[in-house]
A and B are shown apart, each in its own frame.
Chain A
């Protein structure tokens, strides 16, 4: 029986993986070839999806960008034994995009059946949780602190300090809240891991619960990710059945369970206090801080709010030690980051690596430049609130501090590449429009500023008193940056100001007239 692996990740489905799987099953039956098709998560090489892999004695042999119409010829070529075919890429693990990565967080993703407990356990699953239970809360928190892990949602706050704050806060109950409201355009790592290795998130949350003494966890997942919701819900039920969740996890005496909650299309609910309001059943309006969620979070109880990627990094840290994890990276950015290389890019996908690669290496060497074949003009890093960097900044190392030094942010690790057809004034206008649509409305700089920002950008694009309006938008951006309550209004000026600073020619009156 030959085992064949085909991803059921949403990106693979969007490129036709189901049709390919159905065709392979039908063709195998017609030819009397015994195969078993296993649906996995994605390896992250979206440019090769649908990727079909065949298990051989030499390892898994891959066939990329397979169409249903290729299936008959794959059988003719003997692909079930790894036969040569035009779609063949050789051993998947030897593919340059894959071989260059350091996969800690995504070690299992794309390889295992996402909801198979056996598969999960066979590749180091639950070892971190067992160790956390064995060494106890204080040592677990110390291990996380030693790893240097910082919040992968974007803010980069040290996870160990957050956990200690929650553990030390007196309370009748504590919560673990996983922020899976991955709204940034250009990011899909949370979705991929929840579809491809959901037990890793469950294990990370269970470790957090043991460490801080929490009894209940919530995963707040955005509604735009129905596939992730289905897989994760299934994984929760399986984990509960096997007592990795419940009243006595792994016989440790710790009670912990997780509930999946679905958001309702509000981008601002990715902001942690707005997310907590939403979980409580209210409008997703941002709270003023302090009090910090670590002191008064969900239902006013001490709450760990961590991003999916932070929590999924935890099992490895506990299993292999904080020092092992801290051995990767640069400066104060320790460990690995799953980069999401997206937009107009030749080799788009997820690339997990230690911090420190330069932006140019990521976009040109790994990403292969634009999909359109035209020159790269801008890269937006860190989502809709991230700065647009020009190729002149390609020497910037991927590191929290290095990006901040250039008025940018790494955010959740998304990089969106644009070719030279992009109109930067329009992108600046869009940043303001997006902020206006998604503003929670609590603070004036964000609520009113974003709407005025759209109007001012329209005037600039229309060539109306351009110099005066550029001065006005710069002033407005300063007000939003320093006067907004949360990162939505506070960071929306980043794409606008970076577009103005690095691409001034797109804002000049001459350009505006030429665009008429």
Chain B
């Protein structure tokens, strides 16, 4: 997992300016901010609005429309468990419910030790080897309770 740097206005402005010349620069800017800081915080909207000559409301509207942009930093590791139909057909729902119950969190939740965020994802394109998950940058197919636990232990070790 990439370690995110803490929010820094000057660095954020530099990132915004790097992309401002693109046609339709908003999504590239938001992705770049999230890549750098691990989330797109409250401070982002006014900076972007200023640079792109938009209202803060417009920028806020865009940030909150897309599932990808986090308002708060995630845990050190992020597990995206697929909930698409292909994964459901091979038991993903039971797998997810067991895991969430064991961790004591709900979807989008963060474990109390700050280690793991668990998010739903609707299709990773791994539908012929379901159930599937993305753990940080690693794709995992044909998941079962055992292989999921192993993968989580491996990154948290």
Contact = CB atoms under 8 A, between A and B. Distances in A.
B129 A49 contact: yes
B3 to A, nearest CB: 18
B25 A11 contact: no
Contact of A183 (B89, B90, B122, B138): B122
Contacts of A10: 124-126, 139
Given A14-B139, A224-B123, A284-B66, A264 B27 contact: yes
B38 interface: no
Interface residues of A, number: 66
Contacts of A440: 65
B142 interface: yes
B83 to A, nearest CB: 8
A184 B141 contact: no
B89 A422 contact: yes
A262 B27 contact: yes
Contacts of A225: 124-125
Contacts of B138: 13
A387 B26 CA distance: 36
B90 A265 contact: no
Given A10-B126, A14-B141, A266-B66, A430 B23 contact: no
A14 B86 contact: no
A151 B98 CA distance: 41
Contact of B90 (A190, A283, A343): A343
A416 B24 contact: no
Interface in B35-58: 52, 58
Given A188-B127, A264-B66, A342-B130, A15 B26 contact: no
B23 A299 contact: yes
Interface string B125-146: 1111110101001111110000
A247 interface: no
A279 B26 CA distance: 8
B12 interface: no
A264 B24 contact: no
Contact of A262 (B22, B31, B67, B129): B31
Interface in A263-301: 263-267, 278-285, 299
A417 B129 CA distance: 12
A344 interface: yes
Q: Main SS of chain A's interface residues?
A: mixed
B12 to A, nearest CB: 17
A219 B139 CA distance: 23
B128 A281 contact: no
Interface in A387-441: 414, 416-419, 422, 427, 430, 434, 437-438, 440
Contacts of A427: 85, 88
A283 B57 CA distance: 12
B139 A342 contact: no
B84 A186 contact: yes
A384 interface: yes
B72 interface: no
Given A185-B86, A342-B86, A281 B123 contact: no
Contacts of B139: 10-11, 13-14, 227
Interface string A342-365: 111100111000000000000000
A318 interface: no
Given A264-B27, A264-B66, 9 more contacts: A14-B126, A188-B126, A224-B80, A263-B68, A265-B68, A280-B24, A282-B62, A380-B85, A437-B122
Interface of A: 10-11, 13-15, 46-47, 49, 182-188, 190-192, 216, 223-227, 259, 261-267, 278-285, 299, 340-345, 348-350, 371-372, 380, 384, 414, 416-419, 422, 427, 430, 434, 437-438, 440
